[in-house]
Structure 1
Amino acid sequence: MKALPISGAGVSVFGTALPETSICSSNSRAAELEELQFDLGEGPRWEAVRTRRPVFVPSLRSHPHTLWPVYGKAIMLLDVQALFVFPLIIGAIDVGVVELHSTEPSMLSAKDITTATALVDQAAWSLLNVVLTWNEQDQKTPQALSPVGRREIHQATGMVLVQLGSTATEALLRLRAHAFLHGMSVRNVAQEVVARTLVFAQD
């Protein structure tokens, strides 16, 4: 972070053989930002993944948030003023995203963007190596990913899928909707599903 005018950063795997997984966060604020977008299923990180282009929001308080209205309201409760999301891409391979944030409204300079892009490229190759290693080890989750993965969420998604007779995408949407309606995190909802204290019934 010393190379850039930011307050924190987070790295996540996306679009590979591994499920969406948080790799690391520089501080609790970065982790909360990453968790918020995962829970809501919307936000600049999803836009960066969809377009395969960086998404810069230099002033979160004045940004219209038309593409992610629910996230736009939720982010106002956090001590964050600017967000810069870089997709991790190697050719046609989508590896993940890097999310940088600042507690002050700011915009990255041309020099900052060049520096960030170089660091992001290095991160993309490092993560791709982890994914390839994971594939070579008969799909055993790499030790580096285990502590911060979302295995309970993936397990709960599978359980809800069976309970509702739906697809994995629909099951995850139901988990997110339940979390949103009850003011919980998706992780906590997943824990209840796995513990069988919460069961989703078919409509």
Structure 2
Amino acid sequence: MAEGLDTGLCTVFLESLPITGASISVFSGLAPETTVCASNRVSARIDELQFDLGEGPRWTALERRRPVLLPDVRAGSHAAWPVFAKAIRDLDVSALFVFPLVLGAMDIGVAELYCSDPGPLSAADHSTALQLADAATWQLLRELLTLAPADGTDAPQDGSPLSRREVHQATGMVLAQTGASATDALLLLRAHAFSQGRTVREVARDVVARTLDFTPPDGVTRRP
């Protein structure tokens, strides 16, 4: 959760809509990918799963720049993100509604809303969600623009369920070790985490602690 950003945004969604939980993340180039808020552990886990796996409805919403509405997320195989679809079955989530936070050509982030019971948003609730997403986009943009370069780029203190401080640090270390791009360095972390059945954050801690090193033994840059 970036320091200086408004963490009350999730509460506004919860108080205005018939949902069980909400999370908001920013993806703007003004700050590294980070979680602004998550209303509960399930919301935080939905966010973390998609970050770790690099797949899920949030990425579809960001790519298409329009909401992804899943009134029964347990139905269907979800061919675009099968691993996430399988993983979310372990959570008390039946409906998932993802709203991209966009402004003109700028992609600011995403708001993810879930319900424990299946069912669509009513027309009125969908309209309210769009209005709240628009308001959140403007608020986050204003706050991101006022952050100094050293502010808001670190996650909360280590150990927080929303913390990605070590992930960003480990990505830089893997980049230096392999000579890969930042994108490929993160993919290496994700691939290693998936193969070991761990979270990216757990693997990142090992990299930062220098108990895990991605330096190729032959000096040849690795690719995921």
What amino acid is aligned across from residue 193 of structure 2 in structure 1?
A
| Runs of 4+ that moved beyond 6 A | none
**Residue in 1 that maps onto 2:204:** 190
Identical-pair percentage: 55
Residues 43-91 of structure 1: CA distance to partner in whole angstroms, max 9, x if unpaired? 0001111111100111111132111011111111111111000000111
- Confirm or deny: 8 A CA contact 2:27 2:34 kept in the other structure: yes
What amino acid is aligned across from residue 127 of structure 1 in structure 2?
L
Measure the CA separation in 2 of the matches of 1:39 and 1:191: 14
Residues 138-165 of structure 1: CA distance to partner in whole angstroms, max 9, x if unpaired? x022399645452211110111111111
Answer yes or no: is 1:141 the counterpart of 2:145: no
What amino acid is aligned across from residue 55 of structure 2 in structure 1?
E
Q: Number of aligned pairs? A: 200
**Residue in 2 that maps onto 1:163:** 177
**Residue in 1 that maps onto 2:57:** 44
**Residue in 2 that maps onto 1:117:** 130
Match of 1:53 among 44, 62, 66: 66
**Residue in 1 that maps onto 2:11:** none
Measure the CA separation in 2 of the matches of 1:36 and 1:85: 14
Runs of at least 5 residues in structure 2 that lack an aligned partner in the other structure: 1-13, 217-221
- Confirm or deny: 8 A CA contact 2:31 2:153 kept in the other structure: no
* SS at 1:96 equivalent: strand
Deviation at 1:3, TM superposition (A): 2.0
Measure the CA separation in 2 of the matches of 1:159 and 1:37: 22
Deviation at 1:96, TM superposition (A): 0.5
Measure the CA separation in 2 of the matches of 1:69 and 1:141: 36
What amino acid is aligned across from residue 115 of structure 1 in structure 2?
T
Runs of at least 5 residues in structure 1 that lack an aligned partner in the other structure: none
What amino acid is aligned across from residue 191 of structure 1 in structure 2?
R
**Residue in 1 that maps onto 2:48:** 35
